[in-house]
Structure 1
Amino acid sequence: MNTTIEKAKDLKTLSLFLAQMNKEKTSHIGFCGEKPEEIHQTLKDDFIGDGGDVNFFVCRNDSGVILAAIGLDIDGMTAEVWGPFNQTSSVEKQNELWAHLLHANPAVETFQFFINKENTQQQLFMDEIKAEEKGEHLTLQITKKDFEDVGVMKSTPFVRSDFQAFEKIHNGIFPDTYYDAATIKDGLSNDHVLRLLKTESNEIQGYAYFEIDTEMGEASLEYIAIASEFQNKGLGTMLLKETLSEMFSYPQINEVTLTVENSNSLANHVYLKAGFKPKYVLKNYLLKR
């Protein structure tokens, strides 16, 4: 069978292919999405370079059908790899795609992969390219129909006078995270929400920050934390349930998905206690050129 490897041009067709592959755990790649419209939007936002080319390579057969694909979401010299996606048993075509991707992106030095634990084909590919396994992530999900809404809220919306105390807690718990306290504060809106749990004397006990995309019908719980001196009092579960109640109050939101380290930690117990159910496990791999 003759095949052609080229840069992706038709994003809608590529989105349909990726969504179809991600429906099955045996071909699933983490953080790429499962809805064609969601994937299409992400490709337009994050995968188009300065020259207008899409940073995604596809392998097509003689009829133009996509057989395999791989792309990069680049941030400086680091990239998250979307793929490899391969609906054939041909490792050769997959290796060719990977070689094309490396050649087209010489400035990228570090590659992150998130492979479903049941996707054995791509785990073998990780071994072949000598990528280092760094750990496992557990993806959890809760649906609106399975969630019991909280009647009375004890948490309150963030106000500007809370910033100094919030900054101390957030930057202390998450010192190297993608959103520092100032970034969260400056981006607050009707769809970017920060709620705080406080004592009667106005001391912050914990907080939760989430983002809503009403157009795509998506909700993401970015941060939830309880200050160390207030832990082990049931506040984490209470705050999580209140936050979910707020998120599900948006008519467009029917499910909430989050990813945590795959461990038996107290944090994971809180999520499960609130009603989250395991969806899948991802293996994280790191490769340095």
Structure 2
Amino acid sequence: MTTYLRIHASQLDMAAEWLANVNSQMTSHSGYCGTSKEEILESLREDFMEGDSTSLVAELEGETIEGLIGFDYEEKLAEVWGPFHLSSDIPTIMKLWNYAWSEFPQLSEFSFFLHKDNIQQQTFMDHMQAELRGKHLYYKIQQAAKAKPQKLTLEPFSTQNSQKFVELHNTEFPGTYYDAKTILDRSQQQGHTLYFAYLENMFIGYTYFEEGTESIHLEYFALAPNYRGQGLGEELLRLALDQVTSIGNFSDVTLTVNLLNDVANPLYEKVGFQVENELWHYSLSTK
């Protein structure tokens, strides 16, 4: 008998084990979900818990999981894990999607990050008429060379320069999944780190990281246009990597960047990042 339900907190261990098995295969891989049970379980506890329930929805056949969808959401915007399903049948996946969405009717904007070889979910995206927003490289670095501060200072964000941050972020990343206000709000939470960079006491850039269990992810990095081409971007990046790796026990730092970003990609590789995966970003609006 097929049933649909929101995963209860007591079922997280089962869900994490199932996700680890499915997401370890690149043909069904969804970015940011993780591939180890421990990492996934920690993420579920941090980002998907809602009291005794979760924002993770399952299709069960008897007591066996057949499919899962997770919503890591803020207000109306959700980053989606999945939809994962053992079947490639689109009507079957649609039933799971429709049930999951009915549980969270306030959601209207969805982002998906799918491995380039994940044809099943790409087919589902086409069926849903989702927009392919970009193709991205998923970078990882295990140990960056230590930075020697030369010109910049790096400090936790301050409300004094928050407006300059808002202007820079919204100019550099229009329409992105986290606007400046969301980052400022999230940076108040444990495991979310926003650094401001200063040159002679002048705000010129920032980095924003979010922690996982085994790694920390560089979500955003920007330098004001007037200060580019002077080596300051590399210095800012190295300083930020020093800071975040010194405050937590992380095995690596990860980031995602547009495949065609010929300015940023050489910088990341110069610092020591290496390509792990290619992820395709889709967005879906139901407004």
TM-score under structure 1 normalisation? 0.80
Contact 1:210 1:219 in 2 (8 A): no
Distance 1:45 1:189 in 2: 10
Partner of 1:232, secondary structure, is coil
Within the candidate set 156, 161, 172, 2:167 is matched to: 172
Shift of 1:143: 1.0
Contact 2:66–2:86 (Cα < 8 Å) also in 1: yes
Distance 1:130 1:89 in 2: 17
Instruction: Give the secondary structure class of the aligned counterpart of 1:287.
Output: strand
- Contact 2:13–2:41 at 8 Å: present in 1 too? yes
- Unaligned stretches of 5+ residues in structure 1: none
Normalising by structure 2, report the TM-score. Answer: 0.80
Instruction: State the partner residue of 2:26.
Output: 25
For residues 78 and 192 of structure 1, the distance between their equivalents in structure 2, rounded to whole angstroms, comes to 21
Structure 2 match to 1:101: 100
Give the Cα–Cα distance (whole angstroms) in 2 for the partners of residues 68 and 235 of structure 1. 46
Greater percentage in strand: 2
Give the superposition deviation at 1:255: 0.6
Task: Provide the alpha-carbon RMSD of the alignment.
Answer: 3.3
- What is the aligned partner in structure 2 of residue 66 from structure 1? 65
**What's the counterpart of residue 119 of structure 2?**
120
Partner deviation per Cα, 1:30-81 (whole Å, 9 max, x = no partner) = 222333333223333433447x43232222334x332221132333233222
Between 40-49 and 110-119, report the one with greater CA deviation. 40-49
In the alignment, the residues of structure 1 paired with residue 191 and residue 109 of structure 2 have an alpha-carbon distance, to the nearest angstrom, of 36
Q: Distance in 1 between matches of 2:182 and 2:41?
A: 30
| Aligned-partner residue type, residue 174 of structure 1 | H
In structure 2, C-alpha distance between the alignment counterparts of 1:248 and 1:159, rounded to whole Å? 15
- Comparing 80-89 and 184-193, the one that deviates more: 184-193
1:286 to 274, 283, 286: 283
* Aligned partner letter, 2:94: N
Shifted more, 14-23 versus 70-79: the winner is 70-79
Partner of 2:274: 277
Distance 1:135 1:244 in 2: 26
Partner Cα separation in structure 2 for residue 269 and residue 287 of structure 1: 31
Does the alignment pair 1:229 with 2:226? Answer: yes
> Taking every aligned residue pair, what percent have the same amino acid on both sides?
29
- Residue 241 of structure 2 is matched in structure 1 by 244
- The 2-side partners of 1:228 and 1:123 are apart by 36
What letter matches 2:96 in structure 1? L
- Tell me the alpha carbon deviations over residues 200-258 of structure 1, each in whole angstroms, 9 at most, x when there is no partner: xx444x34434474x82432334433222221112111221232233333461221001
CA distance in 1, matches of 2:180, 2:102: 32
Q: Secondary structure at the match of 1:58?
A: strand
Distance in 1 separating the partners of 2:284 and 2:49 = 23
Q: Assess if the C-alpha contact under 8 Å between 2:219 and 2:256 holds in 1.
A: no
CA distance in 1, matches of 2:225, 2:12: 46
Corresponding residue number in structure 2 for 1:39: 40
Find the residue that maps to 1:57 and give its secondary structure: strand
Q: Are 1:140 and 2:139 counterparts? A: yes
Which runs of 4 or more aligned residues in structure 1 lie more than 6 Å from their structure 2 counterparts after TM superposition? 188-191
Other structure's SS at 1:265 match: coil
1:259 aligns with 256
Q: Secondary structure at the match of 1:98?
A: helix
Gaps of 5+ in 2: none
Deviation at 1:125, TM superposition (A): 1.0
Q: For 1:116 and 1:185, how far apart are their aligned partners in 2?
A: 27
Structure 1 residues 269 and 104: CA distance shift in structure 2, 3 A: same
1:34–1:182 Cα change, 3 Å: closer
1:54 and 1:188 mapped to 2: Cα distance?
19
Give 1 or 2 for the bigger CA radius of gyration. 1
Quickly say closer, same or farther: Cα 1:69–1:235, change in 2 above 3 A: same
Residue 118 of structure 1 and its aligned partner are, at CA, apart by: 1.1
